[in-house]
Structures are given as structure tokens and as C-alpha cells.
Amino acid sequence: FSPITEEQIKIKKLHEEEFFIPEKTMQLLNEAKGKQRIISIGTTTLRTLESAYDRNKKQYTKSSGITNLFIQPGDPVESIDGLITNFHLPESSLLLLVAAFAGKEFILEAYRKAIENKMRFYSYGDAMLIL
């Protein structure tokens, strides 16, 4: 939960996380892609799915690996159709990831409403579903 640095923004890399997607899950994801909504539960899952997704083939092709993706506004997010996530703290990579998926203005408006309604932020706060 440490704030992001200018260097991380410039080189577009974050800390590394190892991931594994069982073959059956990859098969189900590929069968669903384009036919049903694929909803990521959390930002770590989104980083995993983006790392596993081949944009050229339009399918999930990588079942395991290490990701250091730093998804920011302007970056395409093609692996999912929706996201369930918490309200993340300012100056966090997670807030930028959410803004990349949903759009900066949309997220800023959602945060304004969350603050007005005294919603909780951080890891165990209120959550949102973005479609």
C-alpha cells in the first residue's frame, strides 16, 4: 500500500507477483470471452488476467508466470468486462489501475459520491462493481 513513485510511472513497472491459472479455468475463460461478461474480483486478479491475455489471439494463453504490470489511464484493459474492487487510497497504483479500466472522470465521480456518503476506503472498506 505504499505510494507510487515517479520512477514506477516512468518505467511502467510495479512489484512482481507470481500467478497461476489452472488449465480448466483458462479453458472456461476462453469459452466465455466475447460471449459472457468476465468479471475480475480484485486488482490482483485483473493484473493476472491482463498478463495471461494475448491481445493478438484474443484469448488467454499464459497459465502461470510473474507480472509486474503497472496499468495506468490510457492503457487498454482487454481481458475483462467488469471489476469488483475496493475504494483505493489516493496516490496508489490500484487507483490508477481502476481509472485505466473505468475512465478517470467516471472514477473521480464515483469517489466524490463515496465521500459524500461516508463510504470507507482501504482494504476492508466499501467496494464497487464497475461494468
| pTM of the complete model | 0.86
Among 128, 59, 58, 60, which Cα is nearest to 99's?
Answer: 128
Going from the first residue of the chain to its last (131 residues), give the mean pLDDT of each consecutive group of 10, the final group possibly shorter: 72 86 97 97 94 96 93 94 88 88 94 89 80 94
pLDDT of res. 15: 81
pLDDT value at residue 119: 86
Separation between Cα atoms, residue 113 and residue 109, nearest integer Å: 6
Greatest Cα pair distance, the chain, in angstroms, is 44
All three cell numbers of 124, joined, read: 476492508
